[in-house]
Amino acid sequence: MIWNDEFETLPREAIESLQAKRLRQVVERVNATVPFYRESFEKAGISPFQINTLDDLKRLPFTLKQDMRDNYPYGLFSVPLEQIVRIHASSGTTGKPTVVGYTRRDIEMWAELMARCFGAAGVHQGDIIQNAYGYGLFTGGLGAHYGAERLGASVIPMSGGQTKKQLMLLQDFGSTVLTCTPSYCLFLAEAAREEGIDIVNLPLRVGIHGAEPWSEQMRGEIEEKLGIKAIDIYGLSEILGPGVGIECIEAQHGLHLWEDHFIPEIINPDTGEVLPHGEKGELVITTITKEGIPLIRYRTRDITRIIPEPCICGRTHVRLERMSGRSDDMMIIRGVNVFPSQIESVLFKIEGVEPHYQLVVNREDNLDTLEVQVEVNEVTFSDEIKELQSLSRRIQKDIKEILGVSCQVKLVEPKTIARSEGKAKRVIDLRDQA
């Protein structure tokens, strides 16, 4: 369902002229209200009045996560605190969190975009949405919640965790839509199997999964194990939270990014050069309507490409290919660049292997090593050593052939790898300690 027909199907020229107008406004505004931007424009020798067309965007400097840290907590806000009605923060792995503030209009806009996302995923009034994204400083829970209410569906604010209770509600409340990370979704499926719950035959119809990278193979696992359509949703707290982009259920290919509110660019992460549509690189986003904390050319670190072809669903907003991962998560193993999601794709094609894995990177004698720890199912685990050895050789060989990287494979017992209620931790990098 197209939630906002007027905006979701705007002709390309109309999108671009709206973007150009909004870009001029936001650049002028941050220049006037955020000292960081005034200084950064000055340093780059550019006046906001020189930004007139979309093409001028590339003349502006980037904003980095570090800039948000340096201006912790409120330094990048563009309105006085009295106008901020909500504050979220993303934890980050080191140091202080990244803080974002929303005005009343920002919250309205967020709810509208999340309602569009639900519509794109085929969700409508009458649906019962079990929201298992965490409520709290994390944007997932409240972001999806407000969108669900805006849509007019019934939302169950379950939050993450409490797996047994999740399963009880899925059965008793007849949830038709589940929102949670893809890794937690598979965990729920596993827990259901153990409890003897026939999850495939529950009313659940759609899963809306994001907040972490996942592969097409993982989608297959989820769809099969839960008997649902699994939809990829993208977002980040710095830009909004969930709802920056989503796949449509018609194509399930590429995430429509709401271009009346955001301008996407793909850059070469090493040089900062803007790449043409279709080429893979780092996603950079400029927010053009946000009031609380507008960001100019924010480097997301997420790796994707813009799919230039129009979509069959009728939406005119560009699509981003499923994220391969974050450039910070990219492992460089003896010179070969590898994303965890690429290893995931290889693993999930192999019979007997469970969709739970972790990658341990280390350094021995100045050489990087990669150990792939992956669970095997009960049946395989009880096999003879000979068969287990042959399975681990097969995994090693497939990874080498497809990704060009050598690794050690450690097959582990079912349920050895820690399950996550939110974002899964796929990589353990021991190199700094080596």
Interacting residues toward ligand DLL by CB under 6 A: 90, 133, 138-140, 210-213, 232-237, 241-242, 300, 302, 323, 326
Per DSSP, the three-state class of 432 is coil
Nearer to ligand DLL, 11 or 95 (CB): 95
Nearer to ligand DLL, 41 or 77 (CB): 77
Nearer to ligand DLL, 51 or 284 (CB): 284
- Tell me the angle at which helices 182-194 and 163-172 cross, rounded to the nearest 10 degrees: 80
**CA distance linking residue 178 with residue 231, whole number of Å:** 10
Nearer to ligand DLL, 31 or 287 (CB): 287
Least Å distance, CB 92 to ligand DLL, is 9
Name the burial class of residue 13, with classes exposed (0-12), middle (13-18) and buried (19+) by CB atoms within 10 angstroms of its CB.
exposed
User: Which residue has tokens 């840290």?
Assistant: 69
Least Å distance, CB 67 to ligand DLL, is 15
Name the burial class of residue 270, with classes exposed (0-12), middle (13-18) and buried (19+) by CB atoms within 10 angstroms of its CB.
exposed
Nearer to ligand DLL, 69 or 363 (CB): 69
Q: Which residue is nearest to ligand DLL (CB)?
A: 210
Least Å distance, CB 76 to ligand DLL, is 15
Least Å distance, CB 133 to ligand DLL, is 5
Least Å distance, CB 424 to ligand DLL, is 11
Q: CB neighbours of 82 closer than 8 A, spacing ≥ 6?
A: none
**CA distance linking residue 326 with residue 34, whole number of Å:** 28
**CA distance linking residue 21 with residue 298, whole number of Å:** 19
User: Which residue has tokens 């990098």?
Assistant: 429
Least Å distance, CB 359 to ligand DLL, is 16
Nearer to ligand DLL, 212 or 259 (CB): 212
Nearer to ligand DLL, 118 or 133 (CB): 133
Cis bond before residue 242 (omega within 30° of 0):
no
Least Å distance, CB 211 to ligand DLL, is 3
Instruction: Give the residue from 357, 411, 373, 397 showing the smallest Cα distance to 214.
Output: 357
